[in-house]
Structures are given as C-alpha cells and as structure tokens.
Amino acid sequence: MLKEFYTVTTVVNGQSYKRVIEPRMSLCDFLRDELDLTGTHVGCEHGVCGACTILVDGLPVRSCLMLAPHADGADIQTIEGLANEDGELNVLQWAFREKHALQCGFCTPGFLTTITAFLAENPNPDREEVREALSGNTCRCTGYQHIIDAVLLAAETMRADK
C-alpha cells in the first residue's frame, strides 16, 4: 500500500503521457522536467505567486501545490495548449499583445490560464470582477492595469465573435 514510486497516466493538451515518478514530485516539475512542457513557470513554489497556474479538468489550480500523482486520470491544459490549432495566438493572447499586458513575460502563462477559466464562467465581467479574478497572480512588471485592459478587450472580442 505504501508507494515509493507512482505511475501517472495523464492527458496534457490532448496528448497522453505515462511516467513513473517519485510521489513527492510537484505537478509543475512533472510538466517541466518529465514532459518538457516548460511554458508553465515556477516562481515561488509555495502557492503565493500564481505563475504555475494550469487548468486541471477545466479549473485553474496552482501546479506547485499539487503532486504529480494528482495528474493521474486528469485532463490538463497548460499554456502550450492555449493557442489556436493553426498555431496563431488565440483571442486572449492577442489581446495581451495588443494591450501591452506583458513585459518580461514570466507571469504571463499563469495569467492566461487563470483568465481562460474566468472568461469561460464570466464572459461579460466588469473591471472590478477582473481585478478580483487576477488577485491570485503576481506580476512584477506591468502594474496590472494593462492586464485588466487586455482581459476586458478579450472578453469584448469573444462576445462579438460569438
């Protein structure tokens, strides 16, 4: 019953993977070191910065506060899975570029995954709701205002596209 190793079978960005790992491995290390998906960034490794946010079964979570075994049987989406199928930036990514919502880009994968889920639940947010939704993500460069602008632009564009 006590395991020193664990076999994880999981789907990430539509592709299946199977790996044998030590259970103490965090999910972000699993993605980066085992699957070479290095778009998920690791800032603090203890849950405060949000850089490592990914979508597990559609919901944003901190991948540094999950163990790799928690990926077993899950359907995961990371920053690498957000762009359109032809490789073009999706609407949210485009809006980030349009509004200068990133500078160094370290925090960006965490923001984009967080906001992807947020806009799916709330397609027509006001500025205050956007601020609240972003509260779990830290950005040291932008001062957040442009990120909020980008989210509002993305929401507006997505509504118009529907």
Partner 1 sequence: MKPARFKYANPKTLNDALSLRAEYEDESRFLAGGQSLLPTMAFRLAQPEILIDLNWLHELNYVRLETSGAIRVGATVRHREMQVNRLIIDHQPLVNEAVFQVAHQQIRNRGTLCGNLAHADPSSEMPAVMLALEARFHAKSIDTDRWIEAVDFFLGVFETALEGPEMLIEIELPSMPERIGTSFMELSRRPGDYAMMGVAVVLTLNKDGTCANCRLAFCNASDTAVLAPKAMASLVGKPVNEETVRAVANIVQTELDPPDNINASSAYKTHLAGVLTRRALLKAVERASGGARAAA
Yes or no: say if 83 and 116 are a contact pair by the CB < 8 Å rule.
Answer: no
Taking the C-alpha atoms of residue 47 and residue 110, their distance in angstroms, rounded to an integer, is 12
Contacted by 15, from ligand FAD, partner 1, ligand FES, none: CB < 5 to 8 Å by type: none
Yes or no: say if 21 and 68 are a contact pair by the CB < 8 Å rule.
Answer: yes
> Applying CB under 6 A, which residues contact ligand FES?
42-45, 47-52, 62, 64, 102-107, 139-142
Sign of the Cα pseudo-torsion (43, 114, 68, 2, in order): positive
> Applying CB under 6 A, which residues contact ligand FAD?
47-48
CB of 1 to ligand FES, least distance (A): 30
Contacted by 103, from ligand FES, partner 1, ligand FAD, none: CB < 5 to 8 Å by type: ligand FES
CB of 47 to ligand FAD, least distance (A): 3
Yes or no: say if 73 and 10 are a contact pair by the CB < 8 Å rule.
Answer: yes
Please identify, using beta-carbon distances, which residue of 51 and 95 lies nearer to ligand FES: 51
